[in-house]
Amino acid sequence: MLLTVSEFEPKYQDRVAPPGLTQVPQVQKTEISFTVSDPKSYDPYVKNLEGFLSKYSAGEQTDSMVFEDCGDVPMDYKERGPYNDDQGQKKVCKFKREWLENCSGLQDNTFGYKEGKPCILVKLNRIIGFKPKAPENESLPSGLAGKYNPYLIPVHCVAKRDEDSDKVGTVEYYGMGGYPGFALQYYPYYGKLLQPRYLQPLVAVQFTNLTYDVEVRVECRAFGQNIQYSDKDRFQGRFDIKFDIKSS
């Protein structure tokens, strides 16, 4: 039976695409709740972030046989040939952890949690061969207006409900070369066998001015022509997360 299935490429992908959008830290009911003054309350989130980012450390990306530098401005897709191992493994674009700045954990190893300015990482689910298309300029929400880049899948987070919008405060985005989105040169993904050490592009989102002691629901979306949203699948192309930060 398995003989009929390719090792490198699944037979059908109509169920996995369009891709989901997920966040780190990964939490039950996507609720991030902690007390600023109590390091223990945010320890799990920090550990989770640190664990996830360890792959992105500079020390992990030294092997030039595997990693290549793809620059720090968004560029077009990097095609790497057919989906088989005739040419051996495929190279992988580096993703520098420093790009995540305040959320890189390099300066602040609590990712802003100790200051009550929590970071989350946003990533687009990996799909073999999937090439996200940058959105058309007109379709971008007002918050992203003017930040259009033809090689970037922008990420944007706003309050889930309009009445909460003043509670969210300022949102900082850190991504490749300071661009708040996923650059296209990281796509397409060639799969676990051909790119075992593939690093999917990340966007760090920091909420620097969240209102404390109330539940604030935030929704983050990735924008692209072939990124869709579904009422049934609330993690397709977007996700929402709840913050409940206690001041004491």
Nearer to other proteins, 19 or 116 (CB): 19
**Selected range binding other proteins among 1-9, 59-67, 87-95, 212-220, rule: CB under 8 A:** 1-9
Count residues binding other proteins (CB under 8 A): 37
State how far the Cα of 209 lies from the Cα of 31, in Å rounded to an integer. 18
Question: Using CB under 8 A, which of 32, 128, 218, 222 touches other proteins?
Answer: 128
Q: Which two tokens stand for residue 164?
A: 């909460």
**Selected range binding other proteins among 42-50, 142-150, 204-212, 226-234, rule: CB under 8 A:** 226-234
Nearer to other proteins, 36 or 199 (CB): 199
Question: Using CB under 8 A, which of 131, 232, 243, 247 touches other proteins?
Answer: 232
State how far the Cα of 75 lies from the Cα of 151, in Å rounded to an integer. 5
- ∠ at Cα 20 (224, 196), nearest 5°? 100
The reply to whether 192 sits near other proteins by the rule CB under 8 A is yes
* Window 19-78: residues binding other proteins (CB under 8 A): 19-20, 22, 26-30
Torsion angles phi and psi, residue 241, rounded to 5: -140, 145
Q: Which two tokens stand for residue 28?
A: 């039950």
Omega before residue 18 within 30° of 0, cis: yes
Nearer to other proteins, 11 or 40 (CB): 11
Question: Using CB under 8 A, which of 174, 179, 239, 243 touches other proteins?
Answer: 239
By residue count, the chain amounts to 248
Which DSSP letter does residue 210 get?
A: P
One symbol per residue from 196 to 225: x for binding other proteins (CB under 8 A), - otherwise; what is it? --x---------------------------
Distances (CA, A) of 23 to 10, 49, 63, 71, 82: 25, 10, 27, 25, 31
State how far the Cα of 66 lies from the Cα of 54, in Å rounded to an integer. 17
Of 25, 36, 4, give the one whose Cα is nearest residue 204. 25
Question: Using CB under 8 A, which of 133, 234, 242, 246 touches other proteins?
Answer: 234
Neighbours of 137 (CB within 10 A): 13
Nearer to other proteins, 84 or 165 (CB): 84
> Which positions lie near other proteins, rule CB under 8 A?
1-2, 5, 8-13, 15-16, 19-20, 22, 26-30, 123, 125-128, 189, 191-193, 195, 198, 230, 232-236, 239
